[in-house]
A and B are shown apart, each in its own frame.
Chain A
Amino acid sequence: MKNASVSLFALFLLLPVLRVSAQDLGGLVDEIESRTHFGIFTDFRSEFFDDDGTHSYEGTFVGHVSTQLSPRFKYFAEFTLTPDRGYFGQIRLERSLFQFFYSDLLQLRFGRLHTPISRWNVLYHHGQYLQTTINRPDILKSSNRLSPIHSTVIEVGGSYGMAAGRVTYAAGIGASDDHIHPPGVGVLLQQNPAWYVSAAFVPERLMDLRIGGTLYREKVQYHPEIDDGRPHNHDLHSIDRDQTINLHMTYDGRKWSLLSELMAVTHWGKERYGGTAGYYAQVERQLPAPYERGIAYVRYDRLVRNMDDPVFSTDPFRVSTGVTSGVRVNIYTRVAITTELRMYGEDLTFPERHLYVQLSAGF
């Protein structure tokens, strides 16, 4: 409720913020000085599960607003509205950040944001209309406990151009807003002071290619008051630090694109628990004429868990594999329909099969 109040307050506070230039060019400059932008995403999807023939429905409404408060200062807020726990709906403040732009090389951000621990997390997150697929990669699902996807931080970042290409960087310090919740253990770990550094390179001759990575570290803490009454996993109590390393390579061409990421996780407790890693590779291809409104895609996901790591010791599988494929069709300029088949399991011999249909829009 507190989040809802904050979101609505931020939205209404920013509605009237339209700056007017002192210069008079018949209103032309006034128009370009109006720097408030509103955006909306909405989606509705249905999932069919083949084991028992059941199906479910889900939808999301995402609003975001940004306003340039001064020639160098900007505020951005995003909220989500989802039908949750049987009522419509749960409103949540997703992002709220101030940004200071000094130059290409130096920019500051502070507030709640999507942790740049993954390219997908920065590009899409709740932007269901923006992403081609319906499901996000397995390494970014909170249930898989690989990546803290929300953070409240102060971050310095920017980009530097040189002959070979352009380097972008970001370094932040703050705290993650996410929890680690191993299944069936009944204990949460809340994450405390965290820091990250990330960098990426875009070559001069191939601007659609991007190669980069992130190192993320944080302290973690056991919270007994969140215990749900089930037996404690005492090894989990000892974990006090974790580290996530991400490497990504993306190519966003005119006809086809590639998204690929690798993520490796280490926890420190009674001992060092490394060896948990996941990756995905997704290829998208625009269909040839006269079907160019359609994009066909396929993604391969794989996770390998260290079962000695208390965070993953209660997972049903050491290795899990997923294959996601589908077709997205842009039926109107800002409306798309997507059909997706996802197979997931310990291996793909007897996988779970899910079929999804989604209607999404972005404005």
Chain B
Amino acid sequence: MRRMFSYITLLLGLTGVMAVGTPDVVQAQSDPLVLIVHPENAAEDLSYQDVRRIARLDRLYWTQTDGIVLLLPGPAADERRRTLNRVFQMSEQAFKQHWVSVAYQTEVLSLPRPYTECAVAVRIVGSLKNAAAFVHASCVDETVRVVAVDGKLPSDPGYRL
């Protein structure tokens, strides 16, 4: 019995020491996040919950049969932290584990594509009618369209991204 509790004490102590991590540094972001789509895409206004569903691949189609090709900021992209906080509401660790889990559950057709530079994401969304991406508003040009969230654009008060 004593031996057992020695094991427990030692192992819990070790795991506790290993649990110490560096707190995340929260950076202020003045450039809001936007969901962009191809100009011919029918989606103009989505609820915040629908935006989250699209991001998490709970919703896979724009219309009855028109599949969504999603681009998300990769680890080095400027939009990464804001997307995790405002859309996924996950830590970096949980986000990475989430996609491993999604791939394992087999309920989606394909995984989102990561991008590093928002200009690349804008170029792809401007070229593919069913593509969508989360980018900073400052990166948007006339080749893509910004989707309103709960009826609000980034310039409106109460915009949620």
Given A37-B103, A130-B100, A333-B92, 14 new contacts (CB under 8 A): A25-B124, A32-B131, A39-B103, A101-B60, A105-B64, A161-B50, A290-B21, A292-B19, A294-B16, A329-B18, A330-B93, A337-B18, A339-B12, A355-B4
Question: Is B104 in contact with A333, judged by CB distance below 8 angstroms?
Answer: no
With an 8 A cutoff between CB atoms, is A202 at the interface?
yes
Can you list 7 A-B contacts (CB < 8 A)?
A: A50-B3, A74-B109, A104-B60, A159-B59, A293-B19, A293-B21, A362-B97
Chain B residue nearest to A78 (CB atoms) is B104
**How far is it, in angstroms, between the C-alpha of A292 and the C-alpha of B20 when the chains are bound?**
7
Asked if A136 lies at the interface with its beta carbon under 8 angstroms from chain B, I say: no
* Residues in chain B near residue A25, CB distance under 8 A: 123-124, 127
Q: Smallest Cβ distance from B118 to chain A, in angstroms? A: 13
Contacts of B97 in A (CB 8 A): 130, 334, 362
B86 touches A (CB below 8 Å)? no
* A123 located at the interface, meaning its Cβ lies under 8 Å from any Cβ of chain B in the complex: yes
CA distance A80 to B16 in the complex (A): 31
For residue B20, which residues in chain A have a CB less than 8 angstroms away from its CB? 290-291, 293
How many angstroms between the C-alpha atoms of A138 and B106 in the bound complex? 25
> Which segment of A65-73, A221-229, A243-251 sits at the interface?
A65-73
Which chain A positions have C-beta within 8 A of B111? Answer: 37
Q: Which of B15, B47, B90 contacts A294 (CB 8 A)?
A: B15
Whether A291 touches B109, Cβ cut-off 8 Å, given contacts A32-B69, A32-B124, A207-B52, is no
> In this assembly, does B110 line the interface, its C-beta being within 8 Å of a C-beta of chain A?
yes
Chain A positions within 8 Å of B, measured between CB atoms, are 23, 25, 28-29, 31-32, 35, 37, 39, 41, 48, 50, 53, 64, 66, 68, 71-72, 74, 76, 95, 97, 99, 101-105, 109, 113, 122-123, 127, 129-130, 159, 161, 166, 202, 204-205, 207, 254, 287, 289-294, 327, 329-331, 333-334, 337-339, 341, 353, 355, 357, 362-363
Complex Cα distance A202/B107, Å?
A: 16
Are B106 and A50 within 8 A (Cβ)? Answer: no
B139 contacts chain A at the CB level, 8 A cutoff: no
Task: Identify which of A99, A103, A104, A363 contacts B106 (C-beta below 8 A).
Answer: A99
Residues of B near A41 (CB, < 8 A) are: 104
Task: Kindly list chain B residues whose C-beta atoms are within 8 Å of the C-beta of A35.
Answer: 110
Question: Does A71 contact B23, Cβ atoms closer than 8 Å?
Answer: no
Q: Please tell me if B89 contacts chain A, counting CB pairs below 8 Å.
A: yes
* Alpha-carbon distance between A29 and B15 when the two chains are bound, in angstroms: 44
User: Closest CB-CB distance, B31 to chain A, in whole Å?
Assistant: 23
- In the complex, whether B67 has a CB less than 8 A from a CB of chain A is yes
Nearest-CB residue, chain B, relative to A330: B93
Residue from B18, B65, B101, B113 in contact with A293 in the complex, judged by beta carbons closer than 8 Å: B18
A129 to B101, CA, bound (A): 9
Q: Are B53 and A166 in contact (CB under 8 A)?
A: yes
From known contacts A25-B124, A37-B111, A130-B101, infer whether A329 and B96 are also in contact, taking CB-CB under 8 Å. Answer: no
Nearest-neighbor residue (CB-CB) of B3 within chain A: A53
**Complex: A327 Cα to B10 Cα, angstroms:** 13
Residue of B nearest to A62 (CB): B104
Contacts of B94 in A (CB 8 A): 254
Chain B interfacial positions (CB closer than 8 Å to A): 1, 3-4, 7-8, 11-12, 14-16, 18-23, 47, 49-50, 52-53, 58-61, 64-65, 67, 69, 71, 89-94, 96-97, 100-101, 103-106, 109-111, 113, 120, 123-124, 127-128, 131
- From B15, B69, B109, contact of A327 by CB (8 A): B15
Q: How far is the CB of B129 from chain A (nearest CB, A)?
A: 12
Across the interface, do A103 and B61 meet the contact criterion of CB distance under 8 Å? yes
Docked-complex contact A68 and B109, CB < 8 angstroms: yes
Most chain B beta-carbon neighbours within 10 Å: one of A204, A329, A353 = A329
A23 contacts which chain B residues (CB < 8 A)? 127
**Given known A-B contacts A103-B61, A161-B59, A293-B20, A123 and B101 have beta carbons under 8 A apart:** yes
Are the CB atoms of A294 and B91 closer together than 8 Å? no
Query: A207 to B53, Cβ gap below 8 A?
Result: yes
Partner of A31, one of B58, B59, B67, B113: B113
Q: Does the CB pair A64–B103 fall under 8 Å?
A: yes
- Complex Cα–Cα for A337 and B60 (A): 34
Contact of B23 among A31, A202, A292, A331 (CB under 8 A): A292
Chain A residues near B4 (CB, 8 Å)? 48, 50, 353, 355
Also in contact, A291 and B128, with CB within 8 A (given A39-B100, A64-B103, A76-B106): no
* Chain B residues whose CB sits within 8 angstroms of the CB of A254 once the complex forms: 89-91, 94
Residue on A nearest B111 in the bound complex, by CB: A37
